[in-house]
Chains A and B, each alone.
Chain A
Amino acid sequence: MSRIQETFRKLKRARRGGFIPFITVGDPDLATTERLLIELANSGADIIELGVPFSDPVADGEVIQRASERALRNGVTVQDALRCARNVTRRIDVPLVLFSYFNPLLQFGEERLALAASRAGIDAVLVTDLIPEEAGSWIQNLCRHRLDPIFLVAPTTSDKRLTQIAQQARGFIYAVSRAGVTGERDRMTRDAEILVRRIRSLSDLPVAVGFGISTAEQVTGVWRFADAAVIGSAIVREIEKLSHSPDPMKCVGEFVRSLIPPVQLSAFQ
């Protein structure tokens, strides 16, 4: 059983939803990213998404675009992301998902990446602009090195494709809450819930919902129908704001704890 499967099993037993924060590697710098990963793990993250910066992040809104730009100004590479992961996986017990656009990974080398990520203690890889149709050899390489390939599904995804994607995916399915790029929204539409119900009818994999979630209330809302909530832009924005703060770790930790609903959900599942 993969560590991600195990995490979702534990969550189910505890009758609570999962909390999955996202940060960009090297924003504001690599040393801070390592400390942030530990802080996130200590603040209640169940899984962490580690974003590799890319020069042309078409699926991202302004907040994560700016984070990528900051990281790229520091010259952050795939190699740095892997080193960062390797340095912290000895010290935390939370599964890591490497989150990237395809080109940096392709240039690193498909097989080489799978091997290196596995050695660095990474558990899964999600590639924003790689759909299963183009991912034949990619999936094989990940599986050979015991990494879970995570795929996105969207409200526009047909049932036929949902079925196909569910067959290729391992670990969990990432449901995009709405058509659009990443970024906080004041209110969530019903799209996500409808999508998750469709996934449930076709697959037994756990479902995490992301895009547009930025408050504890929204996390609670998502937990009512999904297994986990992903929060990216809200945390990245906090990191951006706190770059000049004397104790940024403490502030980010507090912010993250404030996003996790305090009580177990008795109604969960």
Chain B
Amino acid sequence: MFKGPGLMLRISLQHFAQHDTAFMITSSEPDEHGHWGKFGGRYIPETLVAPLEELTTEFMRARTDEKFSRQFNVLLRDYAGRPTPLFYAQRLTAQAGGAQIYLKREDLLHTGAHKINNAIGQALLAQRMGKARIIAETGAGQHGVATATVCALLGLRCVIYMGAEDVRRQALNVFRMRLLGANVITVNAGTRTLKDAINEALRDWVTNVHDTYYLLGSALGPHPYPLMVREFQSVIGREAREQILAATGKLPCALVACVGGGSNAIGLFHPFIADEGVRLIGVEAGGCGDSLGKHAARFHSGTQSGGGRVGVLQGTMSYVLQDANGQIATTHSISAGLDYSAIGPEHAYLHDGGRAEYLQATDAEALEGLRLCAKLEGIIPALETAHAIVPAIKVASELSPEDAIIVNVSGRGDKDVQLVADLQRT
């Protein structure tokens, strides 16, 4: 089921990447402990080692099990609505005046975002493992809604942890989760956003390991989550690769996707990693300023020491926004889904190896992207996704009309309409 060009190439070039960043990475498989170079791994309390090993074993088994693969693909097709279209965005292309812009329409999936791909995969895995209670964290609420949805479908109990600030920002999604039968727990600790929701979910898991499955929503956390989430999301890139070849007869020049933890981006990028001519461009949340606390751009290289450093947060080693003493920094983004201090470890590896580039879009640019996409294409993207639009136009404008780029429309904007309306009023 996970056959794709990126996976068939198993030659690990990690060794080169560490010593020679000029060398192009053409594969990014972690080692058996989930390390991409120095990134990833497992930094967790001892109690969680056993359940993570159990999960790794089960996932590796499922990965090559045809029955599991069939179940997964059938649900992706008949329930989630795959494959999603690759749409030629004529008017955005005209606006950019350069390369053709194609939109990968993950926003058309059931529940409105790419999150459902991973939720289906992991919930099937949980069912296979005989775990009847599912817990998950959510930022924007899209992963929470996807998890609650799949739990309803499979008859699993569902608890969703959500930061109080996000509960406020994404009230509609909270209502949807409750409607789907999930128990939504508001987290008042810390900054009251995604990071704190993950802390609470981890505390729940460490307490209820015997019967609980932690359905992590992004390409983050301890091994095997970053690998597993990427595998379940790689369907995005595999489809997009076929579709763009069918539409244009050649590979695109660039892929553009927003990056919070990085699951939609890694899902799109991964099947193209071996294609050296394809630029992989992630867009982080530039927020409303350059200093620490004003953005969620882990690769930010500001003069005011606003950028991230290599560190450990919530089970994995990656780039982390933190103060000089190793305390995790608060972040800011207009979009709850990108408002997180760390980035998935595979992105850190692709960044350091020079295979992927990371840009930033500010809150204002995200709003501009949302308006452009809505007015020119009749598609209202999620605020997270909207971060990718303005940088994509810029990238396209520097290329020729024979070239093509793909932008991942990771989610739809219905959940954000109220927030945008409020912003316009003030």
Task: Give chain A's interface residues, CB within 8 Å of chain B.
Answer: 54-59, 61, 65, 72, 77-79, 102-108, 128-131, 133-134, 151-158, 161, 165, 176, 179-181
CB atoms of A103 and B313 under 8 A apart: yes
Cβ-defined contact, A176 with B47, below 8 A = yes
Distance between Cα atoms of A145 and B37 in the complex (Å):
28
Contact across chains for A131 and B326 when beta carbons are under 8 A apart: no
- B46, B199, B311, B327: the one within 8 Å of A151 (CB): B46
Closest-CB distance, B391 to chain A (whole angstroms): 30
Q: 12 additional contacts, CB 8 Å, given A59-B203, A59-B206, A103-B312? A: A54-B326, A56-B313, A57-B199, A77-B325, A107-B309, A107-B324, A107-B325, A131-B46, A134-B43, A156-B47, A157-B49, A180-B47
Q: A56-B195, A56-B314 are in contact. Are A105 and B326 (CB under 8 A)?
A: yes
Query: Quick one: which of B195, B209, B312, B327 contacts A129, CB cutoff 8 A?
Result: B312
Q: Indicate which residue in B47, B51, B324, B328 contacts A56 across the interface (CB closer than 8 Å).
A: B328
Contact of A65 among B45, B48, B189 (CB under 8 A): B189
Q: Which residues of chain B come closer than 8 Å to A158, judged between CB atoms?
A: 50
Shortest CB-to-CB span from A67 to chain B, Å, is 13
Alpha-carbon separation in the docked complex, A151 to B247 (Å): 56
Q: Are A56 and B190 CB-contacts (below 8 A) given A106-B312, A133-B42, A134-B43?
A: yes
Q: Nearest Cβ distance between residue B373 and chain A, in whole angstroms?
A: 35
CB distance from A215 to the nearest CB of B (A): 21
B130-172, CB under 8 A of A: which get 1 and which 0? 0000000000000000000000000000000000000000000
Q: How far is the CA of A56 from the CA of B207 in the complex (A)?
A: 17
Q: Which of A55, A108, A153 contacts B190 (CB 8 A)?
A: A55
Taking a contact as CB atoms under 8 Å apart, the answer to whether A55 and B45 are in contact is: no
Asked whether, in the complex, the Cβ of A131 is within 8 Å of the Cβ of B49, the reply is yes
B254-292 CB contact bits vs A (8 Å, 1 = yes)? 000000000000000000000000000000000000000
Residues of A within 8 A of B195 (CB): 56
B345 at the interface (CB under 8 A from A): no
Interface residues as binary, B298-319 with A (CB distance below 8 Å gives 1, 0 otherwise): 0000000000010111110000
Please indicate which of the listed interface residues B49, B189, B207, B320 has the most CB atoms of chain A within 10 Å of its own CB: B49
Contact (Cβ within 8 A) A156 B44:
no
User: Does A107 contact B311, Cβ atoms closer than 8 Å?
Assistant: yes
- Considering the complex, give the chain B residue whose CB is closest to the CB of A157: B46
Question: Closest chain A residue to B47 by CB distance?
Answer: A154
Residues of B within 8 A of A103 (CB): 311-313, 320, 322, 326, 328
Whose C-beta in chain A lies nearest to the C-beta of B324?
Answer: A107
Distance between Cα atoms of A131 and B313 in the complex (Å): 14
B-chain residues with CB within 8 Å of residue A157 when the two chains form the complex: 46-47, 49-50
> Contact check: which of B46, B207, B320 meets A153 at CB < 8 Å?
B46
Q: Does B70 sit within 8 A of A, measured CB to CB?
A: no
Closest to A180 in B: B207
B119 contacts across to A, CB distance below 8 A? none
Q: Which residues of B contact A161 (CB under 8 A)?
A: 49
| Cα of A56 to Cα of B208 in the assembled complex, Å | 20
B45 neighbours in A (Cβ, 8 Å): 58-59, 128-129, 152, 154, 176
Supposing A56-B313, A102-B312 touch, asked if A129 and B207 sit within 8 A by C-beta, the answer is no
Query: Is B41 among interface residues, defined by CB-CB distance under 8 A?
Result: yes
Min CB distance B227 to A, Å, is 16
Return 13 A-B CB contacts under 8 Å, by A number.
Answer: A54-B326, A56-B328, A78-B326, A103-B312, A103-B326, A106-B326, A107-B311, A107-B322, A128-B45, A134-B43, A156-B48, A157-B47, A179-B206
**A131: which B residues are within 8 A, CB to CB?**
42-44, 46, 49
Contact A180 B206 (CB under 8 A): yes
B210 is an interface residue with CB less than 8 A from chain A: yes
A134: which B residues are within 8 A, CB to CB? Answer: 41-43
Q: Shortest 10 CB-CB distances between A and B: which pairs?
A: A107-B326, A104-B326, A156-B50, A154-B47, A180-B207, A152-B46, A77-B325, A59-B45, A55-B327, A103-B326
Quick check: is B396 within 8 A (CB to CB) of the other chain? no
Q: How far is the CA of A129 from the CA of B50 in the complex (A)?
A: 14
Interchain CB contact under 8 A, A102 and B327: no
A181 and B311 within 8 A (CB): no
Chain A min CB distance to B261 (Å)? 15
Instruction: Determine if B43 and A129 form an interchain contact, defined as CB atoms under 8 angstroms apart.
Output: yes
Nearest chain A CB to B56 CB, angstrom units: 13
CA distance A65 to B203 in the complex (A): 12
Q: How far is the CA of A135 from the CA of B44 in the complex (A)?
A: 12
- Quote the shortest CB–CB distance from A3 to chain B (angstroms): 25
B38 to chain A, nearest CB (A): 11
Question: Taking each of A59, A79, A161, which has the highest tally of chain B beta carbons within 10 Å of its own beta carbon?
Answer: A59
Query: Which positions 405-423 of chain B face chain A at CB distance < 8 Å?
Result: none
Residues of chain B with a CB closer than 8 A to A102's CB: 43, 312
Q: Decide: A108 and B42 in contact? CB cutoff 8 A.
A: no
Contacting pair A106 B206 (CB below 8 A): no
Decide if B393 is an interface residue (CB 8 Å cutoff): no
- Assess A181 versus B203: contact at CB under 8 Å? Given A103-B311, A129-B312: yes
Bound-state Cα–Cα, A151 to B44, Å? 12
A residues near B190, Cβ cutoff 8 Å: 55-56
Query: Residue B33 at the A interface, CB < 8 A?
Result: yes
CB distance from B34 to the nearest CB of A (A): 10
Inter-chain contact B326/A108, CB cutoff 8 Å: yes
A208–B62 alpha-carbon span in the complex (Å): 39
In the bound assembly, the distance between CA atoms of A134 and B46 in angstroms comes to: 12
In the assembled complex, the CB of A72 is this many whole angstroms from the nearest CB of chain B, namely: 6
C-alpha spacing A165/B49, complex, angstroms: 12
**A129 lies within 8 A of B44 (CB):** yes
Does A156 lie within 8 Å of B209, measured CB to CB? yes
B350 interfacial by beta-carbon distance below 8 Å: no
A9 to B190: give the CA distance in the assembly, Å. 42
Chain A residues, CB < 8 A from B202: 58
Report the separation of the CA atoms of residues A52 and B45 in the bound assembly, to the nearest whole angstrom: 16
A156's partner among B42, B51, B203, B326 (CB-CB below 8 A) is B51
